[in-house]
Amino acid sequence: MKLPSIHLLPAKEKAIKRGHPWVFSGALSKHSVKPGEWAELCDHNGRFLAMGFVEPGSIAFKIASREAYQPEELIRLRIERAIAFRRKAGLLDRKDHQICRLFFAEGDGLPGLVIDAYGIHCVVQFHSRAVFHYRHLIAEILAEQGFPNVFSKSRESLHDKGIEDSYLLGGKQEDVFLEYGLKFKVDWEQGQKTGFFIDQRENRRLIGTLSKDKKVLNAFSYTGGFSIYALAGGATDVVSLDSSAKAIELAHENAVLNGYESKHHGVIQDAFEYLKDMPSDFDVVVLDPPAFAKSQRVTHNAVQAYKRINSMAMEKMPAGSQLLTFSCSQHISRELFTSTLRAAAIDCGRSVRLVQHLQQPLDHPSNLVHPEGEYLKGLWLQVD
């Protein structure tokens, strides 16, 4: 089937030819293709440039391929390649490891699609109606790849209350999974995102190496991922801090699952309030807040929030303590986040050493010309 064509305005090909997968509305000539429909993108003379789909809003077209494909053919190709990459990287088919991001939107060549694997279950989040249209095909491909239980969780991501989150195939067979041998209960049906923040896997592992005989604070803890790794690494006392009672309940359940309940303490409180009077004996502090900047227009406010929480923590941390601090805001660049932490250190008058930059793991790849995909920024700091 021939896809409809959309044309760029004159002199608007430069960003497209550099490889960026987004086309803004001001670069397109008038067309009749509706949001959620697939189309070919052509220059103003009608020469084929790419194929993809139309979106509502300022990002009006998302590129899925520089070559011509039928959507069904391309979707299968992209998913099979993404899973093969993760198998080759050793992230799948392991006895000690059952949690992995199978597909990461632009980073795996198809905007609008995120797939997380928990054992033989997949949770699929659609961020585009054009890809959502092929949800049953995607479920079939995943079943062929060894994931017979597929849950679509897209009501929130598509901003449509008429969509029900539901199983496209199979159902829930278990809810406790291993990450590097540690047990985590995952609630993808009711929990945030797909139920677990897979992108912090390697940073959680790092916390485990820093926590022996240490007292650890895990702020914005959600279900306690960092906390469990700290306990497994030999921490003497771990505090999980979150404003959600349900999150703290699940964090403690994860501590019980792993046999660390006696050293784990949950605190239900706003992190900003807790940090005002934070005890000054935490050897390791993790600050992993939700995205403070969900749009470009609130970047300034987000920077002030990051500066404030980090300054509050640094001020009370003992000399020689470790701070692992993160931003998952797409609109906060690595450079801006680093300069914000520099300002926080100056404000509280502490000497702070940058030990290492931290980032998302290899199952969250980004397109080199799409820096927006590098959303997770972290710093390992030593407070002296």
Q: Which residues are annotated as catalytic?
A: 328
Cα separation, 244 vs 228, whole angstroms: 18
For 223, phi and psi rounded to 5 degrees?
-95, 15
Could you write out the DSSP letters of every residue in 217-273?
A: EEET-TTTHHHHHHHHTT-SEEEEEES-HHHHHHHHHHHHHTT-GGGEEEEES-HHH
- Tokens encoding 89: 């990287």
CB 222 within 8 A of CB 192: yes
- The DSSP 8-state label assigned to residue 8 in this structure reads B
Residue 341 in 3-state DSSP?
helix
Type of residue at 161: K
User: Do β-strands 113-118 and 121-126 pair in parallel, antiparallel, or remain unpaired?
Assistant: antiparallel
User: Do β-strands 166-169 and 113-118 pair in parallel, antiparallel, or remain unpaired?
Assistant: unpaired
CB 62 within 8 A of CB 154: no
Residue 48 in 3-state DSSP?
strand
Closest by CA to 255, choosing from 219, 223, 217, is 223
Closest by CA to 12, choosing from 64, 39, 38, 49, is 49
Q: CA 176 → CA 40, 91, 183, 263, distances in Å?
A: 43, 18, 6, 21
Question: DSSP H helical segments within the chain, as ranges?
Answer: 14-18, 71-88, 129-132, 135-144, 201-210, 225-232, 245-257, 271-276, 299-316, 334-348
